């Protein structure tokens, strides 16, 4: 049986990946200490093996033995918390990544798939092509790009196969919904469910490339299992859709009632993935459009007689938000 290890496997992206790996027959080990400003809830699959440990902890070393693939998702995964505590962000995202790579190397793991960020492109003009130079604006992007460079070094120097993903704005089932730094779509749906105005940061004209978590999961599995030439290893691949929307456009899909709040420093005005490399090398393409997904969350199922369809729509959003 194929054996996979997922760091951060109880969080948003990680738990979706764990479920799919188990679905296709993998034995799955998860390292997750439930520490993150990015998550307000954690998710567990009864068929996976969980270890509540820090990825930097030497006690995790034995967990890599006999593992085929490592999916390294654990991170300090939000910009603003990293700005508030840069030392910890760099330690988790850079030192933690080096620890994962070293243990994978020692254990003879076949391949490591590393989750990085489109924040590496900073303020550069879109669309963002992988060949662009780094333009890190904050401790989060610096620490994640450090992890990318470590991956490439472990491939070039030690022969450990790695694939590096730069995620754009990931959304979908189980995304965080609480706190001021949660992803915008989750915040908006929570505010709708609570019958509140949608809070738009700044003027709302910042544009983001939104990619569904189900598509991200499929990219990860392809990256681990597909036979790749040496030239494709240790390389960066954008994971996005090649289409972006303004925050105002996303808000309009959900509600007409909005309020603007102050802009936040250190965030890019536009993100837009150029995805030719991942299409050509992995054969991956996004399959879910953000407008279709949002519409599905807002569309009530046909209610039983005498049931309020508006209430049913809110109940559907609540079930999605809280996993009920």
Give catalytic residue positions.
140
- How is residue 230 written in tokens? 């040496």
Of the candidates 116, 123, 103, the residue with the CA atom closest to the CA atom of residue 57: 103
CB atoms within 10 A of CB 296: 11
Under a CB-based contact definition with an 8 Å cutoff, are residues 10 and 28 in contact? no
Nearest-angstrom CA–CA distance, 49 and 20: 15
- How is residue 159 written in tokens? 């022969």
Phi–psi pair at 136, nearest 5 degrees: -80, 130
Nearest-angstrom CA–CA distance, 141 and 298: 33
């Amino acid at each position: 049986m194929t054996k996979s290890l997922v760091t951060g496997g109880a969080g948003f992206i990680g738990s979706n990946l764990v479920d799919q790996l188990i679905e296709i027959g993998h034995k799955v080990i998860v390292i997750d200490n439930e520490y993150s400003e990015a998550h307000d809830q954690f998710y567990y699959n009864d068929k996976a093996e969980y270890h509540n440990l820090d990825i930097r902890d030497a006690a995790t070393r034995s967990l890599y033995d006999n593992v085929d693939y490592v999916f390294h998702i654990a991170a300090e995964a939000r910009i603003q918390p990293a700005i508030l505590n840069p030392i910890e962000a760099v330690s988790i995202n850079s030192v933690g990544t080096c620890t994962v790579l070293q243990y994978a190397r020692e254990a003879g793991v076949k391949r490591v798939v590393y989750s990085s960020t489109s924040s590496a492109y900073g303020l550069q003009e879109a669309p963002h092509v992988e060949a662009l130079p780094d333009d890190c604006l904050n401790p989060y992007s610096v620490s994640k790009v450090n992890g990318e460079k470590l991956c490439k070094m472990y491939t070039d120097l030690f022969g450990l196969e790695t694939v590096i993903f730069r995620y754009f704005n990931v959304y979908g089932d189980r995304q965080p919904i609480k706190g001021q730094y949660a992803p915008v779509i989750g915040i908006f749906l929570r505010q709708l469910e609570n019958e509140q105005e949608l809070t738009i940061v700044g003027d709302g004209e910042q544009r983001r490339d939104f990619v569904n978590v189900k598509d991200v999961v499929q990219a990860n599995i392809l990256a681990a299992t597909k036979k790749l030439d040496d030239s494709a290893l240790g390389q960066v691949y954008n994971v996005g859709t090649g289409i972006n929307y303004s925050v105002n456009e996303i808000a309009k899909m959900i509600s007409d009632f909005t309020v603007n709040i102050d802009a936040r420093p250190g965030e890019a005005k536009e993100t837009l993935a150029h995805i030719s490399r991942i299409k050509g090398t992995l054969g991956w393409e996004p399959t879910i459009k953000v407008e279709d997904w949002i519409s599905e969350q807002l569309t009530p199922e046909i209610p039983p007689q005498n049931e309020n369809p508006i209430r049913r729509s809110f109940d559907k959003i609540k079930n999605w938000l809280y996993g009920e």
